[in-house]
Structure 1
Amino acid sequence: MNTDIAASIAAKASQAAKAVANLTTEQKNAVLQSMADHIRCATDSILQANKDEVATASANDTSAAMLDRLTLTPERVEAMAKAIEQIIALPDPVGATRHIEQRPNGINIEKRRIALGVICMIYEARPNVTADAGALCFKSGNAVILRCGREAIQTSLVIAQAMQQALREHQLPDEVVSIVPDPDRDLMLALLKQAQYIDLVIPRGGEGLIRFVTEHSRIPVIQHFKGVCHLYVDQSANLNMALELLINGKVQRPGVCNALEGLLVNKVIAAEFLPQVAAAFSQHDVIVHACQQSIGYFAQAQPIANNEFGQEYLAAEIAIRIVDDIDGAMAHIDQFGSQHTEVICTENHTNAERFIRQVDSAVVMHNTSSRFSDGGELGLGAEIGISTSKLHAYGPMGLEALTTEKYVVTGSGQTRL
């Protein structure tokens, strides 16, 4: 039964993708504006559904990080609508052409950007993903199948229904943005087998979900693993700047994937910098897990063994380690990082360039907060996720990452000898 349901959902989405492929940029933008307007009109219904789900999640002892991602407010609903309007303002990648070369025999070779087709988005307690993923996939010429976790399914259904209302007003099928109404895991497994209709799967959520999807899918998967992000404070860092980057990266919103989970401090400046860190963390009630060399700078730090780093706390909690130099910092990141976002604070241009060149991470930053590792902050509009795998996208995924290229070869009757 689940196989039949999954095949039906996927087949309808595949057919709907053909309708999107024929739309002009102007037509897509008009639909997107209607989506934003309908989400605003549905604010009360969205918030009521969300209030009920937050209450249920709270009663089930859901973590603070999960509750933060689940909870919507009038401001967050408005942010969803504005994110869609930001996507309207972005260039349409579909149809963009780049010239490759003209061969000696006169044939002309180009590459033209096209939609992927059907994208299956699997996510947990993140109702805003419904709007972001739906809008991004639509603008990039794709149909999307949204499979939300049970914690946010009712909220996501209301959001999707608002978007589908906009589709109907423009004579487009609901299945352009379809949402799986049943969060049953067996149905999700059946969807992961629909390689005939679905072109890409993007899981977004906890590490367990992503590993499960990767292991069971017959369809290519873009992985968005945990965000174990580090700040390395170099010997030549501006310490006032470093402290601001640390507090912003750890405290502003600790339950998100671009929050800092590790602090690496050059041993030369540790005695000057770590007392400042201790005072700031005390004010913000940050729990510190400190290495043997750094624990003495903190009144209530918990010791951490060398093999215990690499945790994604998603809370006001951080691991701290003193390192000998930039090589020690990069070695630590290579062992414990998750290829999400890594930051160096330094005034030494050579060290900054070494860090940028050698650290294997989707986003590498110099003298700026890890919290900018976000599609909207990087000018992509809403993002569909931050890929920590390298095929075919790496880092925040916006419109262009939801397309591919095909060769277009034109000639004047040439034949191959």
Structure 2
Amino acid sequence: MKTADILILGAGCAGTLLAHYLGEEGFDGEIALCDARTSFDHEQRWCSWSDDRDDLSHLATRKWRSWLVGDAQKTVIKSSTRYVYREIYAPNFFEHFHTAWRHKRGGQIRLFRGERVIKVEPQKDGVYVSTDRRKWRARLVFDARHRASPQSQTAPTKAPFKQDFVGWVVRLPQPAFDPATVTLMDFQPSSADFLHFIYVLPYSANSALVESTCFALGEISREFHETSLTNYIRRKFGRDFEVVSEEAGLLPMHPIKPLQMKNVHAIGVAGGCARPSSGYAFHRIQRQARSIAEAIVRRKPIPQRVWPIKYGLFDELFLCTLARNFQEAARFFVQLFERTDADALIRFMRDESTLEDDLSVIAALPKRPFIRTLFDRLVDSLISIGDVAQESPTKAKV
């Protein structure tokens, strides 16, 4: 049996950052990470807004100061002198940290590849973890496995969204991209079941990641994405292009409620770090990992959530309104970016908004559909309270 003071299940973004910040904070115990993967070179990119004073800025492969949101009627371009929109390329991220652990004397942080977790069992003398290779005992376990983790479950919601995307890195024979501006959302015709837009990260005038993305309640076929990408690239940038690489994914756009187990904590997407209204997760994962590391070293309680509860309320209202207004939703986003100060909106996206920022976001959105959703939610709550009140006397007799 192997032992560790802290065992991290999954060495992806969240697991790697937690191990990194534990080392940075001076944790002197043994840290082990188990991951079913044998290679970490899978094509993946993490994008987020940063103020450039961030301790991970040196890992950014690209940075942009301008971004675009538009539909068939209007295009809005915004920029910021304080914040940048940055990309961190996952294979480079993993290579940086995993190589450093391998070469560091003392071996405080150890990564075990190709080790699939089978069972997690909290007991009085520690947490026992069975893998397909061995058995572990640890004082604390952090589960970062996302889909494979029994530690997380979907919280009840009326809008169980998924963000479904397929992206191609393409190369053109002629310059056609604006390297200074990210296209966050170029809205395409949507239906009653999903919202569709194209996302473009320009790497040069001739190269970019072009991604077809849907906010959807149901399944979106890969054929739909590939046809959309082909048609969009040909229409916008020319018929002649080369697909250099591709990536695809499916992100939750609904609250994740981690299950509670003694000395076992869900982190990352499994710990609720993906912002339901946008799918952005990196900033929350980074903040969560740093906060947990600080708490452990300072012998404080491990935080369960590191962002204000108000964002959950905002997101639920937004997603419920979106679900009944897919075909009008493009207007919501364009109006939001057009009417809100760029820095205020970024602070809202980063869970750092002031009351003034929140009010400016609310003021930018159309009132009628959101008021209707809020009214319906209040009615549902009153009905639920009434149902509980009617059931209570019966339960008392039993």
What is the TM-score normalised by the length of structure 2? Answer: 0.29
Higher strand proportion:
2
Higher helix proportion:
1
